[in-house]
Amino acid sequence: MVAAALAAGWFGATVTQNAAPQQTRVSSGVRPVGSPVTVPHAAKLRERLTEPPMPARGRNPFVFGSRVPSRASSFRDRSTEPDLAPPPAPVPLPPPLPVIRLSGIASDTTDGVTVFTAILNDNGALVFAKAGDKLSNGHSVVRVEELSVTIIDSAGVTQTIRLP
C-alpha cells in the first residue's frame, strides 16, 4: 500500500511538472493594440529571408537555364560596318560525268572493212553503239577502237573510255 501511494505521488508530480511549461506557452489572449508581436522564431525567419538562396543540388529536368550564345560573333553582334570586299561569285560546278562504262567491244567485217561496235553500260542501260551514234544526256560516240571508245558531250568535251 505504501508502494502504491509512493508511485501515485511520483506519477502525479511528473504530470504537474510537464503541464506547467505548457501553461506558460499559452498567451494571455489579450494584448494592447500598439505592442509588438513577439514570436520566438521571428528573428531566425527574418535572417533567412535576407540570406541569398542556396543553389539546388543535382539537376532538375523540369527547369531550363538561360541559353548561352554558341558563338561570340553572331549575326546580331556584328557591327554595321560594310564589308571591305564583296564575296566572290560562286563558281559553277561542271556537270557530272555520265555514268558510261565500257563493257566490251565487238567486231564485224563488212566488205573487207572491220567495223567495231562498243558495248556500253549507259546509266544502267546496255547499249550497242558505233561511231556517230547518240547516247543519253547529249553524248555521242566519236570513234570506236579495239580497246577504247571516245565520246563527246554537247559542250564539246571529249572523253576516252578504255577496257579494264
Cα distance between residue 8 and residue 24, in whole Å: 25
Cα distance between residue 146 and residue 116, in whole Å: 7
Does residue 132 lie within any of the structural domains?
yes
Query: Residue 136: what pLDDT?
Result: 87
Q: Which three cell numbers stand for residue 98?
A: 555520265
Cα distance between residue 159 and residue 140, in whole Å: 11
Q: How many domains does the chain have?
A: 1
Does residue 134 lie within any of the structural domains?
yes
Give the bridge partners for 137, in sequence order: none
Its domain, for residue 142, covers: 100-162
Does residue 152 lie within any of the structural domains?
yes
Task: Work out the average pLDDT over 148-153.
Answer: 93
Whichever domain contains 155, its CATH number is 2.30.30
Weakest-pLDDT range from 15-24, 40-49, 115-124, 155-164? 15-24
Does residue 60 lie within any of the structural domains?
no
Does residue 52 lie within any of the structural domains?
no
Does residue 119 lie within any of the structural domains?
yes
pTM: 0.41
Instruction: Answer whether residue 22 shows pLDDT above 50.
Output: no
Q: Which three cell numbers stand for residue 146?
A: 579495239
Does residue 146 lie within any of the structural domains?
yes
Instruction: Answer whether residue 55 shows pLDDT above 60.
Output: yes
Cβ atoms within 10 A of the Cβ of 4, count?
Answer: 8
